[in-house]
Amino acid sequence: MTKVPYHLAIIMDGNGRWARSRGLPRLAGHRAGTENIRRILEGCVEYGIKILTLYAFSTENWGRPTAEVRGLMRILEQTIDRELPELHQNGVQLRHIGRLEGVTERLQQRIGEAIELTKHNDRIILNVAFNYGGRTEIVDAVRRIVEARVEPEQLDDTLFSQYLYTAGLPDPDLIIRTGGELRISNFLIWQSAYAEYYATPTYWPDFNEEELHSALLEYSRRERRFGLIKPEAGSSMTTPS
């Protein structure tokens, strides 16, 4: 493996189907998926990945059955309580990207405490995209730009990025989607403009260290050109005509 992504993002899909294939309730799949995060986080640290962004709950997921949504909220709260001490001890910096509106006050408090406790850790940044939507993020960024009274001539890609939830972080180099679907599902729409994509039919709870290795190996084989073309010997890289 000649290179690894600095910033890896994962669409953790397939929890419900994983549970259904085993005759279990959907929440059992979500619990299994949550427990898998530690395994993949540890793998990312071993490979030297510096930022891991996980798509945990989208703005569209509020439309799921009430019992499932409430269960997801409980699972996240329990996971924070259970995992936070060890995450902090191991140098993980936790961040939340998305909106907190609609999230219970108790869970908002837990999220805030986790962010505050780990804000100086620098081994790896773990972004949890919870109540997140890519379009919502862009709308929120535009609102903040308007509130800041930014002059139109000042606005460019770099400045706009500073108003996103991921302000100050580089865009993802690789986005992995588990569960077999081939769509981005409103995830990091702005930031993923030149990200590499890797899809696997493996459901998220079964996405293990070997699966992670396969994804990173495939990434290391790809040539990222960012809209340019590969230069010939003795020439500089140029845009296609």
Catalytic residues: 13, 61
Three-state secondary structure call for residue 61: helix
Three-state secondary structure call for residue 57: strand
- DSSP letters spanning 91-159: TEEEEEES--TTS-HHHHHHHHHHHHHHTT--SEEEEEEEEE-HHHHHHHHHHHHHHTT--GGG--HHH
Distance separating alpha carbons of residues 182 and 193, to the nearest angstrom: 16
CA torsion 216→183→55→162, rounded to 10°?
90
Place of tokens 């001490």: 85
Distance separating alpha carbons of residues 84 and 115, to the nearest angstrom: 10
Three-state secondary structure call for residue 60: helix
